[in-house]
Amino acid sequence: MGHKMMHFLMTVDVEGFSIPLNRCDHNTGKEVYETGLPRLLDLLDRHDIPATFYFTGKMAEAFPGSVELVMEHGHEIGCHGYDHSHERAFDVLSYDEQLSDLKKAKDIITGIAGRIESFRAPALRLNENTVRALERTGFRTDSSICSQRFDGPFTFGSKKKLNWLLAPRKPYFLSYSSIFHRGDSKILEIPVSALFFSYSGTVMRRAPNITKLLQKSLFMESRATDKPLIFLFHPNECLDAGNSVVANRRASYIQYLFSDVIRQRLKLKNLGMNALKLLDELFKSAKGYNPEFITMKDYRKSYGGLDEHRD
């Protein structure tokens, strides 16, 4: 066996979702375009790291300039569904609805960016119908499974996400009958890295030290097994939280106190320039392992065909 090259895939979901408001919001989309993206693109430029940016169709439709901006910096453009609201999550849509959302989003994004082939489901929610819908619309990779991430019973759609514990850790072709198993589809799943915690901006901001340990373990694993590292980030994390702290009051007072208030505080931790500082440190430390920084499209190209990777 020759020398193995470790791969690092920086991935970014671009959507008009406001973290402080906990909902999609047109002004947030504008802020992401005017402030969040430029801040992030500047950091990526300084580190010379290519990334894959997944845009929602809505974001691309409302702010086509945001897609152009990312392209000017040489990154790959992908698709993050059409609409990021809970009602349009792929796992609650029928096959036909998924197909129509994918077509709609793809038409808008390709109208600006040309050919695209990489997909990530909004809120990482998808099902078996998504595999066929992705094939029909010409996508080649998905990155929505978060193998071995454990959310506990607290997050939206968390019962289904328990299956993440069983999903393969390394990239695999999705099965038509289960998105958590290897199969014969043409869609290469490139899972978001996780080990109990996800390798993401969300965890990095809440618990920087856990992310340092996680990154170290992931590089050790990568050296041993060839598994690439996939980091998930959002440009809305580069926006300052401001004074717009809003807790959603729901259910009982106890649930409100322990779930909503605490979760909301954690969600807002290290937003804005702090997030960029933490990401800068994460890149610096990652570079100590000398990985190849690569986009989804280029990783897919180097991965080759279906037959080479049968276990």
Residue with the closest Cβ to Zn ion? 13
Q: Which residues contact 46 (CB under 8 A, 6 or more apart)?
A: none
State yes or no: residue 13 binds Zn ion (CB under 5 A): yes
Residue of 240, 217, 212 lying closest to 227 (CA atoms) = 217
Compare residues 13 and 117 and give the one whose CB is closer to Zn ion.
Answer: 13
Closest CB to Zn ion among residues 13, 189: 13
Segment interacting with Zn ion, rule: CB under 5 A, options 13-21, 35-43, 107-115, 158-166: 13-21
CB-based burial label for 172 (10 Å; 0-12, 13-18, 19+):
buried
Under rule CB under 5 A, residue 237 binds Zn ion? no
Q: For helices 273-287 and 208-225, give the axis angle rounded to 10 degrees.
A: 30
Instruction: Name the minimum Å distance from CB 187 to Zn ion.
Output: 19
Tokens of 195: 């080990």
Given a contact cutoff of 8 angstroms between Cβ atoms, the answer to whether 222 and 288 are in contact is no
Nearer to Zn ion, 125 or 227 (CB): 125
Which phi and psi (to 5°) does residue 260 adopt?
A: -70, -50
Q: Which region among 14-22, 109-117, 183-191, 254-262 touches Zn ion (by CB under 5 A)?
A: 14-22
Q: Which of 200, 211 has the CB closer to Zn ion?
A: 200
| Shortest reach from residue 122's CB to Zn ion, in Å | 5
Q: What is the 3-state secondary structure (H, E, C) of 153-213?
A: HHCCCHHHHHHHHHCCCCCEEECCCCCCCECCCCCEECCCCEEEEECEHHHHHHCHHHHHH
Of 7-15, 150-158, 170-178, 299-307, the window that binds Zn ion (rule: CB under 5 A) is 7-15
> Would you say 90 or 303 has its CB closer to Zn ion?
90
Instruction: Between 12 and 41, name the residue whose CB sits nearer to Zn ion.
Output: 12
Which residue stretch of 8-16, 210-218, 243-251, 297-305 sits at the interface with Zn ion (rule: CB under 5 A)? Answer: 8-16
Supply 19's token pair.
Answer: 């973290």
Output the smallest distance, CB 5 to Zn ion, in A: 29
Q: Are strands 118-119 and 141-142 parallel, antiparallel or unpaired?
A: parallel
Give me the least distance between CB of 15 and Zn ion, in Å please: 5
Size of the site for Zn ion (CB under 5 A): 2
**In the complex, least distance from residue 6 CB atom to Zn ion, rounded to whole angstroms:** 26
Q: Which one, 86 or 132, has the nearer CB to Zn ion?
A: 86
- Report which DSSP code applies to 119: E
Nearest to 59 by CA among 122, 118, 136, 145: 122
Q: Provide the minimum distance between the beta carbon of 32 and Zn ion in the complex, in angstroms, as a whole number.
A: 11
Positions in the binding site for Zn ion (CB under 5 A): 13, 15
